[in-house]
């Protein structure tokens, strides 16, 4: 948030809001710089703790393996690391990891595709919105689109930082470096406008997280390996939203428009979701509708992995409300 010149404690960030409240109760121990290695299960297959790596001393670079036992265990590491942790937690009772009885753990990886269309305004007309947040948006294309499952909110650029503008929004025929690039940055940064739409992807079981067979992290654990491609319908939806954005810019008087081609690539760099999705039937997912792992009465998940899809909006509030419901 410092990049947007916001005072450190003005933003609604976890370290400023919920996180300080837990230790203040006297019933919470916060272990920093720790890395959970696996969820432990007893001889009956019931989750009863975690193994984790932590520094041997507060300022030490050396780590040691520790064990913490608990009556209730909650995972919230994101769609990649939560899935990785479940796979790392295989045991004789759960040879494929807790909750993986139907082979849904670590599958259906998704995030949000963001079709982006940029336009050049007439000379002398500047873009008044440089963030943070949008100043104009529409939900007209979220539902009811022919041959499109789901849809997207369409809005102007959320955070128009110079490095993002340079990386994603310059005309494709412009040199990436040199004097011509600098001149275009000066001319286009205020005179251009960008529209984007984070839209609902179609989940695919082939988009997944696996454990790398050879690469290890600094703790000796297999790193996460991402594979697969999104559903082809995702590309069709992207093209539909891209065309609507271009129409909007043209109607607003843009003299020129351009966009980057969409390809079948994983989109889980942000808003990652889906790899331990909730389901009423254990055959269709990993947790029940409240986030409790099927077959484990005391193992819960409270992050974006629960989402069957992300919908056409930022999923943060959905993650929060599901977490609060699980806590209740």
Rounded to whole angstroms, the Cα distance separating 290 from 306 reads 9
Lookup: tokens for 325: 């419901």
pLDDT for 134: 78
Fold of the domain spanning 31-110+275-327: FAD/NAD(P)-binding domain (3.50.50)
User: Do 118 and 258 meet the contact criterion of CB atoms below 8 Å apart?
Assistant: yes
Q: What are phi and psi of 116, to 5 degrees?
A: -120, 130
CB 90 within 8 A of CB 99: no
Residue 74 DSSP SS3? strand
Q: Which residues of the chain have pLDDT under 70?
A: 1-12, 126-132, 147, 158, 268
Main-chain dihedrals φ then ψ at residue 49, nearest 5 degrees: 165, -175
Q: How far apart are CA 219 and CA 36, in angstroms?
A: 10
Instruction: Give tens-digit pLDDT for 267-302.
Output: 767 789 999 999 999 999 999 999 999 999 999 999
Residue 131: predicted pLDDT: 61
Q: How far is CA 321 from the centre of its chain?
A: 16
Q: Which long-range contacts link 313-318 to residues 24+ away (Cβ below 8 Å)?
A: 313/153, 313/198, 314/198, 314/271, 315/271, 315/273
Residues in the chain: 328
Indicate the SS3 state at residue 299.
Answer: strand
Strand blocks (E) in 2-46: 35-41
Burial 41-65 (b: 16+ CB within 10 A, else e): beeeeebbbbebbbeeeeeeeebee
* Distance (Å, whole) CA 63 – CA 51: 13
pTM of the model: 0.88
Q: Quick one: pLDDT at residue 205? A: 94
Please enumerate in sequence order all residues whose Cβ is within 8 A of that of 276, keeping only pairs 6 or more positions apart, or say none.
79, 82, 83, 86, 99, 104, 105, 106, 285, 286, 287, 293, 301, 305, 306
Q: How many whole angstroms separate alpha carbon 15 and alpha carbon 240?
A: 39
Q: What is the DSSP letter of 122?
A: P
pLDDT of residue 276: 98
Question: For the chain, what are the domain ranges?
Answer: 1-30, 31-110+275-327, 116-203+231-259
Cα–Cα distance for residue pair 90/226, rounded to 1 Å:
19
- Side-chain half-sphere exposure of 305, counting CA atoms within 13 A: 33
What pLDDT does residue 268 have? 66
What pLDDT, on the 0 to 100 scale, is given for residue 280? 97
Q: Contact at 8 Å (CB) between 265 and 234?
A: no
**Rounded CA gap, 286 and 34, in Å?**
26
Q: Which helix (H) or strand (E) holds 50?
A: strand 47-55
Which pLDDT belongs to residue 301?
Answer: 98
DSSP string, 166-222: HHHSS-TTS-SSSHHHHHHHHHHHHHEEEEE--BPPPP-TTSEEEEEEEEE-TTSPE
């Amino acid at each position: 948030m410092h990049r947007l010149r916001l005072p450190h404690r003005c933003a609604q960030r976890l370290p400023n809001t919920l996180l300080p409240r837990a230790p203040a109760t006297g019933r919470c121990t916060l272990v920093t710089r720790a890395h959970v290695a696996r969820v432990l299960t007893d001889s009956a297959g019931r989750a009863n703790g975690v193994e984790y790596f932590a520094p041997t001393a507060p300022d030490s670079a050396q780590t040691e393996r520790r064990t913490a036992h608990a009556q209730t265990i909650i995972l919230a590491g994101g769609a990649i690391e939560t899935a990785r942790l479940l796979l790392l937690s295989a045991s004789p009772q759960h040879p494929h990891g807790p909750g993986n009885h139907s082979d849904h753990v670590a599958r259906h990886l998704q995030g949000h595709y963001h079709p982006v269309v940029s336009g050049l305004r007439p000379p002398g007309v500047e873009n008044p919105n440089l963030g943070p947040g949008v100043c104009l948006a529409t939900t007209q294309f979220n539902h009811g689109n022919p041959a499109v499952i789901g849809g997207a909110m369409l809005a102007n650029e959320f955070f128009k930082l110079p490095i993002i503008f340079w990386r994603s929004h310059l005309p494709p025929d412009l040199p990436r470096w040199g004097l011509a690039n600098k001149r275009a940055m000066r001319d286009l940064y205020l005179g251009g406008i960008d529209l984007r739409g984070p839209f609902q992807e179609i989940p695919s079981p082939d988009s997944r997280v696996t454990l790398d067979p050879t690469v290890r992290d600094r703790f000796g654990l297999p790193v996460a390996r991402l594979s697969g491609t999104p559903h082809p319908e995702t590309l069709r939806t992207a093209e539909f939203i891209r065309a609507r954005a271009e129409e909007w810019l043209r109607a607003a008087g843009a003299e020129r428009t351009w966009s980057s081609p969409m390809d079948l690539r994983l989109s889980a760099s942000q808003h990652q979701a889906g790899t331990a999705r909730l389901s009423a039937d254990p055959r269709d997912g990993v947790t029940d509708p409240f986030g409790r792992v099927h077959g484990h009465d005391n193992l819960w998940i409270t992050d974006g992995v629960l989402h069957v899809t992300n919908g056409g909006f930022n999923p943060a509030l959905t993650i929060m409300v599901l977490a609060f419901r699980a806590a209740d």
